Every structure is written in C-alpha cells, then in structure tokens.
Structure 1
Amino acid sequence: MIITTLAIAAGTMLVMAVILSFVLGWANKKFKVEVDPKIEAVIEILPAVNCGGCGYLGCSDYAVAIVTDNDPVNKCTIGGEACAKGLARIMGVEVGEMVKVFAVVHCGAHTLNRLKKHEYRGEKRCMAAHQVAGVQGCSFGCLGFGDCVRACHYNAMHIKDGLAMVDFNNCIGCGACSKVCPRTIITITGFKKNKIPIVACSNKDKAKDSKAVCQTACVACKACTKLSDMFSITDNLSKYDYGAYTADHYEPAVKAMEKCPTNCIYFVGKPVCDPSSKKL
C-alpha cells in the first residue's frame, strides 16, 4: 500500500514537472524581450565595472543610452580611448575629443593650516561629522575622515595631515569620491594637459571670516583675475575655467599662483603633485 502511494506521488510529480517545463518554455518564447544586437555588442566592449563615471548606474545603462539615445561614446573613463574607438565602430560615429578626467580636491588646508579646531568625539566619518555644527572652523573645508578613501576602489584617494589628496597615477575619474563627499569639495574635472592649475579652496565667506579660520583660504583679492582672464570671482571665491585650459594659459597661471597671498592656487596632475610643496 505504501509503495503504491509513493509510486503515485512520484508519477504525479513527474507529470507536473513535464507540464511545467513545457509551460515555462512556452512563456520564455512568448514573453521574451528582444535585445538590440548593438546593445549587446556595446556591452561586450564596455569594461563591466559599473563605476558610474559615465553618469549612468552601470555599463548596461550606458550601453542602452549609446544605442537608443545616441549618447557620446567617449564617456567611459576606465575603458579610455580604445573602448571609445570600439564603440564608435559599432555605432558608425566619430569618437570625438577624448579628455581625461580626474578627481580634484578644492581644499588645500592641512590640519596645521586650520586656525580654529574643535575636538570631535563622534563617528569618524565625514558624513557624520558634517552634521555637527562647528566641527571645525571652516564649514566648507575637507573634514579629513576618509569617506572618499573608502569609496575609492582604485587606491587613488589618501588622507595626509587631515586633507584628502588624489593619487593621479591611480585615479580614473569614476566619481565615487565626489559622490560621498558631504561638502562637495571634490569635482571630476577634465584635464586637457597632464597638469592643470586649480583653486584649492571652497570657502565662500568674506575675506575677514575665511582668514579667521584658515591660512590657505581664498580671500577674493582678485590678484589672479588681473594676471589671467581664466580666473573669475564668484561668491567671494576664485574660480578657474578648467575646460578652456591650454598650454597658452600656463604662464599666466604660474604668475597667478606666485601672486596668490594664501597659496591656494597650484598645479595638480601627473606626475603626482604634493600641494604642500607648491612645486610644478
């Protein structure tokens, strides 16, 4: 009796399995979503690291945008020129200008440069410290707890004497560090040359207030704007037109750097430049 019952149960399960396999096979064909072969070809060329440097959540999303929305093929910072050329061949378009992008920290204040220091006993995270009023004198500067270091998968971010610094030999410009910085002082910037001048300050307070909290703060003295039209002053802070920088702008930028009273203008890029040295 028991054997008969088991045999019936086993037979029933076998029949159900066969029926379900047919149903699933039919459903797979009936509801299958056809993928554009171009999208699949584009995905094959992309590095599949899903870093987000292109502005999309992952390589698959970028591939869809390239094929369906004619998005530029030169946005993959990891794949670089070889990847862009491969994508261009598939899409039948020109690669366009390839500009390397790197992370840039718009703060140059090491711990010793900060004039008002307060003991912080909370969680050693930038995001947590940012929520505490008066955690340091400058409310615009680098907090130095390394959220950017933890977010970077390429060993390109380091904390040196309380300041986030970029290793340009490792940085690929993926933007992970920029996304986690609560003070938005890290930008992903195009480098038309190996090294470019930057304004290493984000303090928008008036000169009197910024000088009271930091030795390297921009004081909006306009000295740089008088030496190069690439500089401008907005919200009490010097800005530089990085996208327009060429070799012709090198000498004026050097003069502006030398004239800057707080040394908040200097060159960064390859080879690695230590901002504390102010050497080109």
Structure 2
Amino acid sequence: MSAVTIGLAAGTLVGMAVILTYILGWANVAFYVEVDPRVDAVSKALPGANCGGCGFVGCGEYAEAVVMQGAPVNKCAPGGANCAAAIAQIMGVEVGEALPYRPIVHCGAHTKDKHGISDYRGEQRCVTANIVADVQGCTYGCLGFGDCVEACAYDAIHVINGLAVVDYTACVGCGACAKACPRNIITMTPFKADRVFAVLCSNKDAGKEVKKVCDVGCLGCKACERACGLFAIKDNLSCINYDDYDPEHLEDIFKAIDKCPQKGIVLVGKPSEKDMAAVADKEAPSVVTPDFKTTVDDTEWRG
C-alpha cells in the first residue's frame, strides 16, 4: 500500500470524525431538554426502593411526577414522614396530613380452620393454585403458598399455619403484597390509628355454605350490623364503613364483637401504648371491604 493511499485513508477518517463531532454537537444543542434540578433533588431524597407503592413505576418517575405534575409529596411509604418532609422542603410546600396505608389480609382461617383442602401437587405458588379448582373448599380464602411473602422486600408478611399474617412492626405500606395476591384479599387501607378493627373474611357465600368450608368465616348473620352502625352486610359479608370510623369512639364495635358468633372482628396494626390502654378492660381478638377477584375474572374462555 502506497503512502498516498495511507494518507488518503487517514485524511478521510479525520474528516469523518470532524463531521460527526459537529453533527453530535449540533444535535446536543438542538435536542437538549432542560431538566428541572428539583427532579434530581427529589430523586436523591427518595429511598430508591422502586417498590411502586406510590402508584408510579419507580422512584425516578415519582420524582418527575412530583416536580412536573404536582403529585403529592407524601406518597412514598418506605421513606415515611422524614422523606415527605424533605421533598416538601425541596418543592416549597407543606406536607399536609395523610393517613398511612397498611395491608389487611381479609382471611382469618389457618389450616385447621379450612375444610376441603386437596392434595395439591402443582407449582407451590398462589397465582398457579388459584387457577386450579378445589385446592381448598373456600374459593375466597388465603391459599397460603406465600406469593405475598416473596413479593415483600421488608420481611413484613409471613405464612403462619396456612395463613398470610402481616408484621406491622416491619411493614412500610408499599403494597407489594396486595399486588401479588391473585385473589385480591389483601387490601391497602388507610389507618386512622395505629390499630384498626377489620372483618377477617372475604367469603360472599351464604352462611350455610361458609360453614361447609371454614370454621371462622363470616356468616352474614347481621348481628354486627344490629349492634353497631359502622357495619353493613353486603353480599352476605360484613363490612366496616371506614369513612365514619372514629378511633376515639369505638364502644359500639365492642358490642358487635360480643355478638359475632365467629369472632371475626379483630384488631390489626401495630399497637401503641395508647391503644393498649384503650382496650385494657376489653376482650378483643388481635389479628375493610375486600376487593375480591375470582379465578375466572382473568380467564380467557375458548370454545
């Protein structure tokens, strides 16, 4: 190869490099999108959990929504009050009052309470067992294979004797467990106090049918409804009206607890000293209307 050829090749490469550098520099200016520095500041204030509990895909998208769309500054459950205060300071707004959201498992049946449990040998996951008929008699209750446990990054929910139980001392309210439950029996609920009362059942069948499959399920007998105005029976299932729920005045709820034949009205949450003092002279079990979804709701039928 002659020196002239080598020189031409080198000159061509240098020329192309100059042209591409110019094009890239022009594109960088022409297509530059200015990013509000507050987005980066909010991102750094967030814990980086990317749990999706705020309703956005991750912390980065939430940070953009706070700055660009005016999303609430207190939506990060893992970050808690300190994180909300930091974001509020960046945005120059007040945090405002917001109730913490925590999961409630709308089932109170341990293995011993369940009837009709089959010898299921398929994949040991709730999402798989949920599409199999007759895994257990109750088609509404906790399957107990622990999809919610696997989804929780905070070790705040565990399957104990066939039932998912929330550890409220570790729970941050990210909502991952609720998203993982194929039966939608875990509901994210705003807690007006450290502990709230809940009905631990999702079964909407008639009472006699409930008795066939579960020893502790709600019978829809209306005893709680007659004893306390916070309760209403909807589709054979007792529900609490949390809009009118007042943590300071719960006397009638204890009347409903006494009347409930299944003892299915329970306290859930992390007990504080104030909570313990309030119920010191009461006898109440310690373990929201469910958004229940059946197996066939997600099934594509083919003829």
Fold-level match, TM-score > 0.5?
yes
- Residue 7 of structure 1: CA displacement? 6.6
Task: For 1:169 and 1:13, locate their aligned partners in 2 and report how far apart those are by CA, in whole Å.
Answer: 65
Which residue identity does 1:82 align to in structure 2? N
User: Which residue is 1:135 aligned to?
Assistant: 135
Task: For 2:263 and 2:133, locate their aligned partners in 1 and report how far apart those are by CA, in whole Å.
Answer: 27
Structural mapping, 1:202-241, within 5 Å: 202-241=202-241
What's the RMSD between the two structures over aligned residues? 2.3
Task: For 2:16 and 2:170, locate their aligned partners in 1 and report how far apart those are by CA, in whole Å.
Answer: 56
Task: For 1:79 and 1:229, locate their aligned partners in 2 and report how far apart those are by CA, in whole Å.
Answer: 36
User: Which residue is 1:72 aligned to?
Assistant: 72
Evaluate the alpha carbon distance shift between residue 69 and residue 244 of structure 1 in structure 2; reply closer, same or farther with a 3 A threshold. farther
Task: For 1:156 and 1:38, locate their aligned partners in 2 and report how far apart those are by CA, in whole Å.
Answer: 32
Which residue identity does 1:101 align to in structure 2? Y
SS in 2 for 1:247: coil
Q: Per-residue displacement from partner, 1:225-277 (whole Å, max 9, x unpaired)?
A: 222222111111111133543332333323322321112111111149xxxx9
User: Which residue is 2:124 aligned to?
Assistant: 124
User: Which residue is 1:97 aligned to?
Assistant: 97
Evaluate the alpha carbon distance shift between residue 19 and residue 190 of structure 1 in structure 2; reply closer, same or farther with a 3 A threshold. same
- Residue 57 of structure 1: CA displacement? 1.2
- Residue 137 of structure 1: CA displacement? 0.5
Residue 25 (1) aligns with residue 25 (2): yes
User: Which residue is 2:285 aligned to?
Assistant: 278
SS in 2 for 1:248: coil
Which residue identity does 1:224 align to in structure 2? C
- Residue 176 of structure 1: CA displacement? 0.9
Evaluate the alpha carbon distance shift between residue 118 and residue 20 of structure 1 in structure 2; reply closer, same or farther with a 3 A threshold. same
User: Which residue is 1:171 aligned to?
Assistant: 171
Q: Per-residue displacement from partner, 1:62-85 (whole Å, max 9, x unpaired)?
A: 223223332222211112112222
- Residue 15 of structure 1: CA displacement? 4.2
* Contact 1:81/1:98, CA 8 A, preserved across alignment: no
Residue 145 (1) aligns with residue 152 (2): no
- Residue 98 of structure 1: CA displacement? 2.8
Task: For 2:19 and 2:89, locate their aligned partners in 1 and report how far apart those are by CA, in whole Å.
Answer: 46
SS in 1 for 2:177: helix
Which residue identity does 1:117 align to in structure 2? I
TM norm structure 2: 0.83
Task: For 1:58 and 1:212, locate their aligned partners in 2 and report how far apart those are by CA, in whole Å.
Answer: 44
SS in 2 for 1:233: strand
Task: For 1:169 and 1:18, locate their aligned partners in 2 and report how far apart those are by CA, in whole Å.
Answer: 62
- Residue 106 of structure 1: CA displacement? 0.5
- Residue 17 of structure 1: CA displacement? 3.4
Runs (5+) with no aligned partner, structure 2: 273-283, 288-303
Runs (5+) with no aligned partner, structure 1: none
SS in 2 for 1:115: coil
TM norm structure 1: 0.89
SS in 1 for 2:202: coil
SS in 2 for 1:249: coil
- Higher mean C-alpha displacement, 68-77 vs 243-252: 243-252
* Contact 2:196/2:247, CA 8 A, preserved across alignment: no
Task: For 1:5 and 1:241, locate their aligned partners in 2 and report how far apart those are by CA, in whole Å.
Answer: 86
Evaluate the alpha carbon distance shift between residue 110 and residue 54 of structure 1 in structure 2; reply closer, same or farther with a 3 A threshold. same
> What is the identity percentage for the equivalent residue pairs of Structure 1 and Structure 2?
53
* Contact 1:207/1:219, CA 8 A, preserved across alignment: yes
Task: For 1:119 and 1:3, locate their aligned partners in 2 and report how far apart those are by CA, in whole Å.
Answer: 82
Evaluate the alpha carbon distance shift between residue 11 and residue 259 of structure 1 in structure 2; reply closer, same or farther with a 3 A threshold. farther
* Contact 1:190/1:243, CA 8 A, preserved across alignment: no
Evaluate the alpha carbon distance shift between residue 3 and residue 139 of structure 1 in structure 2; reply closer, same or farther with a 3 A threshold. farther
Task: For 1:96 and 1:140, locate their aligned partners in 2 and report how far apart those are by CA, in whole Å.
Answer: 37
Evaluate the alpha carbon distance shift between residue 108 and residue 2 of structure 1 in structure 2; reply closer, same or farther with a 3 A threshold. farther
SS in 2 for 1:217: coil
Task: For 1:119 and 1:2, locate their aligned partners in 2 and report how far apart those are by CA, in whole Å.
Answer: 82
Aligned length: 276
* Contact 1:227/1:255, CA 8 A, preserved across alignment: yes
